[in-house]
Structure 1
Amino acid sequence: MASKTNPVTFLQQVRTEVAKVTWPSRRETIITTIMVFIMVLLASLFFLAIDQTIGWLVSQLLGFGR
């Protein structure tokens, strides 16, 4: 079983670990956010096209087409 850590020691360890983190710059964050929005848009368009195609095929196979 793990030994219990003093809360003060724990907070010191947390502060030490947080200091090791490499935080992204504002520019990197903005670029990454824009890239995420673009990828979400592309994925949603892709799945919309696939959904419409499959819906059309099913309606043709079941004879509900025009």
Structure 2
Amino acid sequence: MADPVKFFQEVRTETAKVVWPSRRETLITTAMVFVFAIIASVFFLLVDQVLRIAVTFILGVGQ
């Protein structure tokens, strides 16, 4: 088993190499996620409605 002290030194060294995003980058990325989630939800709502209308028309249900 490796030496725990050496392991934690290596962890610290690797952690120091991590480049964290700036606040601005984080906000922009978060906004993009929300926008694309809204676009996807509207798209699937429209597809669902079209399929519902098509199935209702084909099966003649609800008349």
**Alignment TM-score, normalising by the size of structure 2:** 0.92
SS at match of 1:54: helix
Runs of 4+ in 1 over 3 A off after TM superposition: none
Cα offset, 1:16, TM superposition: 0.5
Equivalent runs, 1:3-42 vs 2, <5 Å: 4-42=1-39
Tell me which of the two structures has the higher relative contact order, counting C-alpha pairs closer than 8 angstroms and 6 or more residues apart. 1
Unaligned runs of 5+ in 1: none
What is the distance in 1 between the residues matched to 2:15 and 2:25?
Answer: 19
Gaps of 5+ in 2: none
Aligned-pair distance for 1:54?
0.5
Tell whether 2:42 aligns with 1:49: no
Distance 1:56 1:5 in 2: 64
- Pairs aligned (count): 63
Structure 1 vs Structure 2: percent identity of aligned residues?
56
Quote the Cα distance in structure 1 between the aligned partners of 2:2 and 2:59. Answer: 67
